[in-house]
Amino acid sequence: MRSTLITDIAELTTVDPEGRVLTDAAVVVEDERIAWIGPAADAPDADDRVSVEGRAVLPGWVDSHTHLVFDGDRSAEFEARMAGESYAAGGIGVTTSATRAASDDRLAELVRGRVADAVAGGTTYLETKTGYGLTVEEEARHARLLAGLREEGLVDEVTFLGAHLVPPGRDAEDYLDDVVGPMLEAVREHAGWVDVFCDTGAFDAEQTRRVLAAGVAAGLGVRLHGNQIEQGPGVGVAVEFGAASVDHVNHLSDADVEALAGTWTGWDRASATGTPGTVAGCLPACDLSTRAPLAPARRLLDAGIEVSLASNCNPGTSYTTSMNFNVGTAVLQMHLTLAEAVRAATLGGALGLRAQDRVGSLEVGKRADLHVLDAPAAIHLAYRPGMPLTHAVWRAGRRAV
């Protein structure tokens, strides 16, 4: 068991239950776990010593919502949207065609590159989805590819999103027969989660229930895309199924907020213990790209709901892996404090993946996922937006950047 002392930390943001922010701090890593945290002057000896020379350190980002398996480019769609055309879910079909045409090797290379970009920006725990195959064969191919990358430690969580959109030329109910039948059977051993795009232009409440029920019966956890395009049934269905997360949440009624808050009665935010409810996943880069109203993160937090921030990296509405950008946006535009934004991008994401016992904060025994900023304090993420502030990254105890 080899140990590394990471020291000379100007500011250490732990996101632990006490919300400690330590100055002149140090961390000891043993193999892939955190073994010690405290004042640098009290640090124990270790086999190796790394000085971060007065920089800030915080937990690695937990990106709980991405779509990394794709080929093709939708910049023309983006340009048209910036010229005033409205966003519609149908653009997914453009990516589906290009992705189906790509070889396994090409898709794997593309995903590896996107993961590398994410890690270079401080992301250390990452979920990604299928959803650009939309046939039994293609969804199974993408799920196998992601499961292989998970075995390599490149991605951490795999989600089955066969119900992303009804493919052109298919009847919705006929397509869902495939999703809940042979498609689910082909992917269930490779995925840990089932997801549905429950919104205008995609799937309605009953269709969503059908897919989620089949996923639960197959042993998968539940997550959901909901309430992105307009107020609708997504949040209600997510709560009904005890979803770990419902993401987008741009358009919420008072009843939606009340329903989400009701799922958190068994969770103690101060101690980060108890039974977590349904996380409200906010995707600010997507909101900016689609010129949608920013998700009401402030309103959700004030109602006692845990919030996550994620990149939603995809080719149509959020072609970025930058969690730094999303955190800065949450502070500058969504009225979150820095501490709230960092928590949402770390522990919030971990809660939305039910991984809070392993990642999302810097605590003894948790995975050693550390993000070193080229700045003396984490507030620089919002104070200097758009700057390349990631200096170093440890992922599962190994120096990755």
Pairing of strands 390-395, 61-63: unpaired
Q: Report the percentage of the chain scoring pLDDT > 70.
A: 99
What local confidence, expressed as pLDDT, does residue 86 receive?
A: 75
pLDDT of amino acid 99: 96
Position 87 scores a pLDDT of 67
Annotated binding-site residue? 335: no
Contact of 348 with 330, CB cutoff 8 Å: no
What CATH number belongs to 1-58+361-397?
2.30.40.10
Cα–Cα dist 85/83, whole Å: 6
Q: Which helix (H) or strand (E) holds 190?
A: none
pTM exceeds 0.75? yes
Alpha-carbon span 380 to 263, nearest angstrom: 34
| Distance between CA atoms of residues 305 and 220, nearest Å | 23
26 neighbors 41 (Cβ within 8 angstroms): no
Q: What is the mean pLDDT of residues 9-20?
A: 97
Interval 95-123 mean pLDDT: 97
**How long a stretch of residues is the chain?**
401
Among the residue ranges 79-83, 133-137, 192-196, 238-242, the one predicted with the least confidence is 79-83
Separation in Å, CA 387 to CA 62, 295, 335, 347, 382: 20, 24, 21, 24, 10
- Return the number of other C-beta atoms located less than 10 Å from residue 357's C-beta: 12
**pLDDT averaged over the chain?**
97
Ligand-binding site membership of 124 (annotated): no
**Residue 248 annotated as binding?**
no
Q: Do domains 1-58+361-397 and 60-351 have the same CATH topology?
A: no
The domains of the chain are located at 1-58+361-397, 60-351
Contact 222, 244 (CB under 8 A): yes
Residue 349 has pLDDT above 60, yes or no: yes
The answer to whether the annotation marks 65 as part of a ligand binding site is yes
398 annotated to a ligand binding site:
no
Q: How many CB atoms lie within 10 A of CB 84?
A: 7
164 annotated as belonging to a binding site for a ligand: yes
Buried b (16+ CB within 10 A) or exposed e, 265-304: eebeeeebeeebbbbbbbbbbbbbbbebebbbbbbbbebb
Residue-wise pLDDT tens digits, 17-61? 999 999 999 999 999 999 999 999 999 999 999 999 999 999 999
Of 153, 28, 125, 159, the residue nearest 360 (C-alpha)? 125
* Angstrom distance (rounded) from CA 218 to CA 216: 5
Query: Which tens digits make up the pLDDT trace of 143-200?
Result: 999 999 999 999 999 999 999 999 999 999 999 999 999 999 999 999 999 999 999 9
Architecture of domain 60-351: Alpha-Beta Barrel (3.20)
What does the radius of gyration of the chain's CA atoms come to, in whole angstroms? 20
Cβ atoms of 321 and 313 closer than 8 Å: yes
* Spatial contact of 228 and 258, defined as CB atoms under 8 Å apart: no
At residue 120, does pLDDT exceed 90? yes
> Is residue 74 a known part of a binding site?
yes
Cβ pair 46, 5 in contact under 8 A: yes
> What are the backbone angles phi and psi of residue 231, rounded to the nearest 5°?
-60, 135
The verdict on whether residue 142 carries a ligand-binding annotation is no
Tell me the C-alpha distance between 8 and 53, whole Å: 5
